[in-house]
Amino acid sequence: MAYSIIIAVLLLFILILLSRYTRLQRGIRRISRTTSDIRSGNFNRRYRLPSADKPLTELSEELNRLIDYVQKSFERTAFLEEERKRMIANISHDLRTPLTSLLGYMEALQQDASLSPEEKETFLGIAVGKGDDLLVLLQNFFELARLETEDSIPELHKLNLSELIPEILVDFYPAFVKAGLTPVMELPEEPLFVIGDTAVLRRIVNNLLSNSLRYGADGGELGITVREESGKVWVDVWDRGKGIPERDLPHIFERLYTGEASRNTSLRGTGLGLAIVRNLVGKLGSQITVSSTPNEKTVFTFSLMKS
């Protein structure tokens, strides 16, 4: 009797082992098929195994997390590749346009003997202007490339923002006169000290003012407002021009992005100035935002640490 019980227990144990082995084999085959599908490029596939097999379930969960990571990396790589192609296309276009024009005028100066001295002077002036456009584009591109590849740290120190802002505006006086504008400057009555880098802040405000002059001068008014709020100092560079379409707002700080206004060749910019601004503001430990109500007010805002 006892012998029969032992035999029955051994048989039951063997059946359990065979059952577990069979489930394990099926699970491994399912993992193999799913892996083959994923390897073929189907990143939407996931490992799904019976919950009764805890080790296999844990393995499938870890594999799914790995596939999620790989899929995100793949999507990021694809996005960066598209961004690279778009950037190269934009650079090629922005270089080709002024270069083609410059070469055209230089060829006319060289080969057209019928040009009067006045026409030659005009053509030469246009060619010089196109050369300057090329130089600015290349300088901005290399500056942005340097900022993105170098882990440089601004030289932070205490500075008087109430003095720096008027100094920057004075540098733009000829441009304001040419555009028929009188800038509005709103500063606190008392000196306002912040922690920052003078050269970096000059570059930020210069780029923002240049952007407002290019796209917002038609509104007849632009300016800078400096205010204290929530323990920080906020700088607003604003204008009352045609503004930025809502569809362009999420992309306005992207490299070489030019929105609707830039389709007008008289307004066309390089699309690098605001990308440089975002990078520089980030090096100061802050972020820059933009809001725009077309034909009412467009505002670029960033904050600084109060000293």
Residue range 76-93, pLDDT digits in tens: 777 767 766 776 776 776
pLDDT, tens only, 247-275: 888 888 876 565 554 434 444 445 678 88
Long-range CB contacts for residues 30-37, cutoff 8 Å, separation at least 24: 31/56, 31/59, 31/60, 31/63
Residue 208 CA to its chain's centroid (Å): 16
For CA atoms 188, 191, 194, 200, give the dihedral sign: positive
Task: Tell me the two tokens of residue 157.
Answer: 């120190």
- The answer, as to whether pTM is greater than 0.95, is no
CATH 1.10.287.130 is right for the domain spanning 88-149: yes
**Pick from 234, 215, 193, 182: nearest CA to 292:** 215
End-to-end Cα distance, the chain: 93
Q: Which sequence spans correspond to the domains of the chain?
A: 2-75, 88-149, 157-306
Confidence class for position 16, pLDDT limits 50, 70, 90: low
Fold of 157-306: Heat Shock Protein 90 (3.30.565)
Confidence class for position 164, pLDDT limits 50, 70, 90: very high
Kindly report the average pLDDT of the chain as a whole number.
Answer: 79
pLDDT of residue 178: 87
Residue the block writes with tokens 């992207």: 254
pLDDT at residue 236 is higher than 80: yes
